[in-house]
Amino acid sequence: MSLILQALRKSEAQRQLGQAPSLLSPMPAMRATRSNGWRWAAFVLLLALVASVAWWLGQRGKYGEPTTLGDGGRAIAAQPDVRPDVRPQVPTTPALIESGAIATRAPVANVAKPAQPKPVQPKPTQPIATVAAIASPAIAVEPPTAPPAPAIVASEPELRVLADLPPSDRQNLPPLRITMHVFADQPTQRFAIIDGHRVGEGALLGDGVVLSEITRAGVILDLHGWRVLVPRP
């Protein structure tokens, strides 16, 4: 019976050799790779050790030798190795010394002596009376001036309005109807149209009636010595 089972297993294995493995086909047992794992771990550790040693040597060469502690615990910096400069000295021959080619000492420079100050001679003093006469010259006394007389300002006649004149004064006047009134800063540019005539300052409007001034409020007439305002329309 066992021989039959073994024969069936062999025939089944030979039949499945040329087919792709399925989900139910048994997987071959994998060999343990413990020996290969140990080799890789040792190789990685060796690389890390070599890298750390190289870094330590580079830092030591960059910053120099570490400081050592002397007596009392104080840090003593490593001093650089200073070697004495040994150069061959050229012997001086007696011929050079006798000829004066090699000077032993430089001549001492002459130091100029400071000049002595000259004695200051006192200035002759003037008598006190002469100094007082020079300091206080005579002051001329000016006579008091009389204050100027106040200027007499000519008083202008009182300004009256045309409507306030009595009828007896108005009946002898022209109509004095203002249809246009133009006021400007320049007196030559001011004008008004009164009773259909364009007139300016200083124009004669009738018997004894003179246009004295053109203002913003109207025109001012000189009426027999009286100043009369005719309002603008």
Lay out the sheet containing 197-199: strands in order across.
178-182, 191-194, 197-199
More confident residue, 114 or 196: 196
Give pLDDT tens digits for 188-211: 999 999 989 999 999 988 878 899
| 126 φ/ψ sector (left φ>0, alpha ψ -120 to 50, else beta) | beta
In this prediction, residue 215 carries a pLDDT of: 93
Eight-class DSSP state of 167:
H
Measure the CA–CA gap between 206 and 222, rounded to whole angstroms: 11
Domain coordinates in residue numbering, the chain: 159-231
pLDDT at 185: 92
Residue 182: strand, helix, or coil: strand
